Structure 1
Amino acid sequence: MGSKNKVAIVTASDSGIGKQCALVLAKQGFDIGITWHSDEEGAKKAASEVEALGRRAEIIQLDLGHLPEGAEAISTLIERFGRLDVLVNNAGAMSKAPFLEVEFKDWRSIFTVDVDGAFLCSQIAARKMVEQGEGGRIVNITSVHEHTPLPEASAYTAAKHALGGLTKSMAVELVDHHILVNSVAPGAIATPMNNMEEDEVQEGSMPNIPLTRAGKTQEIASLVGWLCSADATYTTGQSFIVDGGFMLSNPQVKAQ
């Protein structure tokens, strides 16, 4: 991790948690690869904010719904920068439906993006890190539902559990190359995907959660930043839950 021009790629960094991770890593000295799926303007704005911090930014469209071709955008970014030190797998998809009504095509579409996409992006990234011989970091943004179910979202719950398992397998297999792999499992975070703005984060607004509020993207990104720092050299294969205490009670699941 001692390169002068460290490079981090953060998928889906056009907004929300991904964008905040990009900015935190830029502040730590990383040049940033920014990917977007449908919000090119958001990616350009994120890139300008990275550049305002004195770091280089490159943007590219990443479509993990069409694999394996879609993941090659990661290879393109690596070629532009010439190296890679960190990958943050933040891109994901979610849909809800009662288990008895889930259609297989919808089940597969969630797994394609959330599991297959993360697998392919990580494989491309890890191969470059191994080639460089300087180690690296991979952080998978999962969800609190890596650990506990989300009602009427069996595909999403299963996919996030799968990504948690992939994280552990990668950690064990890549440790000899000094590549550390962890996951961060957010609870309810104020993001566009959750139809919440950060200025709406107020104590008491979510009384079923012990901290009674949604989380802020910085509260996730700061942990990602630590995992990619020189202070996190003894941590791999772990899942860090950041959920305001949600897991203590999981108010979404009620006894039948």
Structure 2
Amino acid sequence: MSAESPESASPVSSTPILQGKRVLISGASRGIGRGIALEMASVGAEVTINYHSNEGEAEDVVRECEAMGTTAHAVGADISDETKVQELVDQACERMGGLDIVVSNAAYSDRHLMLESDLDEFRRTIDVSMWGAFHLVRCGARKMVDAGNGGNIVVISSPHAHMPMPGAMAYNMAKAANDQMARTAAVELASHRIRVNIIHPGWIDTPGERKFFQEETLQTEGAKLPWGRLGQIREIGRGAVFLCDPKSEYITGSTLTIDGGIQLPWREMYRVEEARREPVGS
């Protein structure tokens, strides 16, 4: 007797998997947020693109999404301000007629050793990367609960959540908080059929990386990673689509790592070559 569920036995639909879904993505004018917006649009979702200061780039993303045949909107808001986040969510719901998916992506990071940190920059990192994520998740969840139709929340976190990268204490703290926030939200929202999941991107080729590294460094060091390159923004977008796919409805409170193996013990990969050279039985 087949163990397949009725769903797994049904024919494959040609309808885009997120057709008719309404998506809000914070920090989506560039980088990973842009990649998520484009992938969501490519599978039929209507998208609201939040930006802080890059209005022109946000409008470019709108045009790219609309070129795929969907509807898109750009809405500016400082994600660290709770009042502005509530206005953002209200405006997104007004424009799209509701909200099915929220992606918390906006982040800020200033890199200095703890003893040398400028506390204003340290606080800004926490305000955007931790409090901003919380404000968006809570405001978005409230809309979904009121609508009573379930929903999806995706929190873009980081391996910094558990890897104590020197020079990035505030960001490390914020991302660790993001992970615990998302898992707790997954527990609290399960009865409302709202799924909450986390994505840990690895080293991704984004404009933000140019804040900390020269182009040559990115290409040279990226080539040393296990997969031989930096990740691309739409690879993270495809992960977000997977988590929000109705066929993934049994996944909640989980972390999807998309990092080309960066969290593997890749600095020890030479040992693999050593093992290959050793004679059998030696």
Q: TM-score, normalised by structure 1?
A: 0.89
1:52 Cα deviation after fit: 1.2
Which of 52, 66, 83 is the equivalent residue of 1:69? 83
- Does residue 227 in structure 1 map to residue 220 in structure 2? no
- Does residue 106 in structure 1 map to residue 121 in structure 2? yes
Kindly indicate whether the alpha-carbon contact (under 8 Å) linking 2:19 and 2:43 is maintained by their aligned counterparts in 1: no
The whole-number CA distance in structure 2 between the counterparts of 1:44 and 1:96 is: 29
The whole-number CA distance in structure 2 between the counterparts of 1:206 and 1:27 is: 28
1:106 Cα deviation after fit: 2.6
Secondary structure of 2:110's counterpart equals: coil
The whole-number CA distance in structure 1 between the counterparts of 2:139 and 2:235 is: 28
Secondary structure of 1:35's counterpart equals: strand
- Does residue 94 in structure 1 map to residue 118 in structure 2? no
CA RMSD of aligned residues (A): 2.3
1:249 Cα deviation after fit: 2.8
In the alignment, which residue of structure 1 is the partner of 2:225? 209
Inter-CA distance 203–193: structure 2 relative to 1 (3 Å threshold): closer
Unaligned runs of 5+ in 2: 1-16, 268-282
- Does residue 17 in structure 1 map to residue 19 in structure 2? no
The whole-number CA distance in structure 1 between the counterparts of 2:27 and 2:82 is: 17
Which of 225, 248, 254 is the equivalent residue of 2:264? 248
The whole-number CA distance in structure 2 between the counterparts of 1:225 and 1:38 is: 26
- Does residue 129 in structure 1 map to residue 144 in structure 2? yes
1:162 Cα deviation after fit: 0.4
Encode CA deviations 1:38-97: one digit per residue, 9 max, x unaligned.
1111111110111111111111112124x2222121221112222000001110001111
Secondary structure of 2:140's counterpart equals: helix
The amino acid across from 1:214 in the alignment is L
Which of 2, 20, 30 is the equivalent residue of 1:5? 20
Rg larger in 1 or in 2?
Answer: 2
Which of 172, 175, 191 is the equivalent residue of 2:206? 191
Kindly indicate whether the alpha-carbon contact (under 8 Å) linking 2:204 and 2:232 is maintained by their aligned counterparts in 1: yes
1:209 Cα deviation after fit: 2.1
Encode CA deviations 1:189-246: one digit per residue, 9 max, x unaligned.
00111129xx99x997525422231111121111101011112111111111211211
Secondary structure of 2:124's counterpart equals: helix
The amino acid across from 2:53 in the alignment is S
* Superposed structure 1 runs of 4+ greater than 4 Å apart: 202-205
1:5 Cα deviation after fit: 3.0
Unaligned runs of 5+ in 1: 252-256
Q: TM-score, normalised by structure 2?
A: 0.81
In the alignment, which residue of structure 2 is the partner of 1:218? 234
1:160 Cα deviation after fit: 0.4
The amino acid across from 1:33 in the alignment is T
Q: How does 1:26-41 map to 2 (within 5 A)?
A: 26-41=41-56
